[in-house]
Structure formats: C-alpha cells, structure tokens
Amino acid sequence: MKEVVWDFSARKIVRSFPVEVKKELGALLLALQRGVLLGMPQSRKVLALHPSAFELRIKDEHGIHRVFYVFFDSDKILVPHAFTKKTQRTPKKEIDTAKQRLRRMIHEHQSTRQKTGKRP
C-alpha cells in the first residue's frame, strides 16, 4: 500500500474542510493507496504542476475543494496543497503554492534517501 506524505499546511487546510468532504477525501485517498487509478469526475491530471500530478475534486455547498497529489517513487503519494476554489479556473496562486511545496517535499525526500542510503 502506498504511503501518503502530507505537506503540513495542506493537512491543516484539509482539516478545515467540512466533515462530509473529509470523509469523501479519505475514501479517495485510500483507493489511491491501494492502487486504484481514479478518473473524472473525482480526479484530473494537472500538468501545470508536475508530470505525475493530479487533483482530487470534491464539490459541496461550500465550494469546490481541491487536493493536489503526486505519485512519487513507486510507493508514495505526495500531497503538497489543498484549497477551496470559488471560480471555474484554478487560480495561478494555488498552482504556484503547490509547485513550491512540491519542490521542497521532493528535495526533502531525496535528501533523506541519500542520508539513509535507501533507494526507491
């Protein structure tokens, strides 16, 4: 089963989502951990972020909730960013935030791997 690795800020944002949204998100992440490949409408590729990046898409009366995730190595799912959007287009600011966090997460993972001598 794949490990989900959260950015601290992304986890904090998800914790603020409504309960029903968190339940649906948990079920979707569990499916991803078990190797299920999700498609529309639950998940969509986000090439602007990374070649292996996707967004989970959950809609409710409060808005459209998005959680970016990236398949990394063969056993990890990185979650760099989450937000609630109010418009049709994903704001550039949200993509930029996700890119910055993802770069940091990848760098931290690679640094840890080099220190421990572990390979993916």
pLDDT of 118 strictly over 70: no
Span 78-89, mean pLDDT? 90
The reported pLDDT for the residue numbered 85 is 87
For the ranges 8-22, 72-86, 106-120, the maximum mean pLDDT occurs at 8-22
pLDDT single digits (tens) 33-43: 999 999 999 99
pLDDT of 119 strictly over 60: no
- Residue boundaries of the structural domains of the chain: 3-116
The reported pLDDT for the residue numbered 113 is 66
CATH of domain 3-116: 3.30.2310.20
pLDDT of 116 strictly over 60: no
What span, in angstroms and rounded, lies between the C-alpha atoms of 104 and 110? 10
pTM of the predicted protein model: 0.89
pLDDT of 114 strictly over 70: no
Span 53-67, mean pLDDT? 93
The reported pLDDT for the residue numbered 89 is 83
Q: How many CB atoms neighbour CB 9 within 10 A? A: 13
